[in-house]
Structure 1
Amino acid sequence: MSQVVASMAGNVWKVLVSQGDIVKEGQEVVILESMKMEIPIAAETDGTIKEIKIQEGDFVNEGAVLIELE
């Protein structure tokens, strides 16, 4: 199992995947908004979305787990 984590603090602007989706390494899965900028967060490995731990509008800190892959 691997995790997708926030690279910086910000608000979750958009979740681009759903539970059960298959993703590839480098695929954008979440977009954070911080200081009026959109920051795409990508999966670091291939996998299937096991759990989405955030919702659009949530505030997350740097290093927070956003998504779990299996």
Structure 2
Amino acid sequence: MATETILSEVTGSVWKIQSKPGDILEEDATIMVLESMKMEIPVMAPDGGRLVKILVAEGDAVKEGQELAVIEN
């Protein structure tokens, strides 16, 4: 099976993680929510699949382009 790495689209911090490794995600399911400039930005699964790994923790600072999670399609 192919894996896909989910990248941050913004610089900010991880506000809330909503999915856990092993979860089966539908397309556009929310994996986590980032906070940037007092805005909440959802990080969604681009395709359906199984969440393999989360690479950050709540409260972590993230940069644009940083790897956040891995999904297996």
Shorter-chain TM-score tier: over 0.9
Q: How many residues align?
A: 70
TM superposition shift of 1:31 = 0.3
Secondary structure of 2:57's counterpart equals coil
Runs of 4+ residues deviating >2 angstroms = none
Letter in 2 for 1:6: S
Equivalent position of 1:8 in the other structure: 10
Secondary structure of 1:63's counterpart equals coil
Instruction: State whether residues 2 and 45 of structure 1, in contact with CA within 8 Å, keep that contact through their aligned partners in structure 2.
Output: no
Equivalent position of 1:61 in the other structure: 63
**What stretches of structure 2 of length at least 5 have no aligned partner?**
none
Superposition CA RMSD, Å: 0.7
Letter in 2 for 1:52: I
Letter in 1 for 2:45: A
Letter in 2 for 1:8: V
Match of 1:37 among 10, 17, 39: 39
Identity within the alignment, %: 40
TM superposition shift of 1:45 = 1.1
**What stretches of structure 1 of length at least 5 have no aligned partner?**
none
TM superposition shift of 1:68 = 0.2
